[in-house]
Every structure is written in structure tokens, then in C-alpha cells.
Amino acid sequence: MIREILEKLFSKGVYMSLKLVNGSEDVFKKYLEDNVPELTPSRDPHLTLIYSKKKFDGEVKTVEYEVTGVVKGFAIFGQKGERALVAEIDSNDIKDRNEKLVDDYGFISDFDEYKPHITLAYDLPDNFDLSKLPKFPQPLTFGKESVSELELNWVKKAK
């Protein structure tokens, strides 16, 4: 079902995301409190669906659906001074949606491959040890697809 149709000029590019739904946001926040309380947590946990710096002028359709994903591990994204701790998500449905959006709209990523992920925290210290993080306790449910103009200074805005 089409939830929203936006027609506008995305001069900086397009960002699409999925929100955590059905209690998954609470589970996610509890994991952060219990396991990385010293870090600056993400204020708005969400899964990155599209990050395309290609200018886009047209209609972007979001759809309503629910999909589950499993936290397959943790990684560090970014460079010194702007490092973020992310939970990498395993979900063929999410990967398929990303591919469909790329095919339908011609979105282009700066990254070699799409890696579904949720940012847990920003300002990661250089000595942060990923191996100390316990396994994530359960699958997560995603929904509420949204689209916006790409924010190139996302680290500063997300804190």
C-alpha cells in the first residue's frame, strides 16, 4: 500500500530509512543502556535503506510493510573523529527493497555494497573494543519507511 508520495527536488541526494516498530525500539534502547552506557547513543534509531548523493528531481514513493532482521554483528563506520558504532542487520527482504529502490529510481551509493545497519552510538573512542559486546538478544521489526533530502553533515545532526 502506498503510504506517502513526495514530489520534490532532492538537490543533495536522497536518504531513506526504516523505523523500528512493534517494541523493537525499546529493545534496542535497552541494549544500548545495558551495554554501551558510556557512549553517545543515537537519538533516533533507524535502519538506513538508501544513502544516495545523486541529485533526484521527482516522485519518491514509500510503502507500508513490516520486515524483520537479525543483528548479525557490530562494526565501526566512519573515520577518526566521526566514528560510529553500528549493528549490521541480516535481512534478505531489506536487501531486496534496497535493490528495488536502486533499480526503480537510479539511486547511487558511495559505498561498494549495501550494508543494512542501525547506528547505535556516535563519537566512538579509538580504543573501543567490539569483541566485548554481547550478542543482540532477538530479531528486530522494521516498518514506517521514510524519505528525505540527504543530510551531508549527518553525524553532527544525529547527536
Report the 10 Å Cβ neighbour count for 64: 11
Q: Which one, of 67, 50, 155, lies nearest residue 111 by Cα?
A: 50
Q: How confident is the model at residue 140 (pLDDT cuts 50, 70, 90)?
A: very high
Residue 111: DSSP 8-state: S
Residue 23 falls in which region: left (phi positive, over 0), alpha (psi -120 to 50) or beta: left
- 6 pLDDT band (50/70/90 cuts)? very low
Q: Rounded to whole angstroms, how far apart are CA atoms 141 and 143?
A: 7
Domain ranges of the chain: 2-151
Average pLDDT over residues 151-158: 57
The H or E element containing residue 68 is strand 67-77
Quote the pTM value: 0.84
Give residue 3's pLDDT.
43
**What does R_g of the chain's alpha carbons equal in angstroms?**
16
Express each pLDDT in 77-129 by its tens digit. Answer: 887 777 889 999 999 999 999 999 999 998 887 778 899 999 888 878 888 89
What is the per-residue pLDDT for 153? 66
Pick the CATH number of 2-151 from 3.40.640.10, 3.90.110.10, 3.90.1140.10, 3.90.79.10: 3.90.1140.10
- Residue 2 above 60 pLDDT? no
pLDDT 10s digits, 20-69 = 999 999 999 899 889 988 887 777 889 999 998 888 888 888 888 999 99
C-alpha cell, 153: 553533515
The answer to whether the CB of 14 falls within 8 A of the CB of 149 is yes
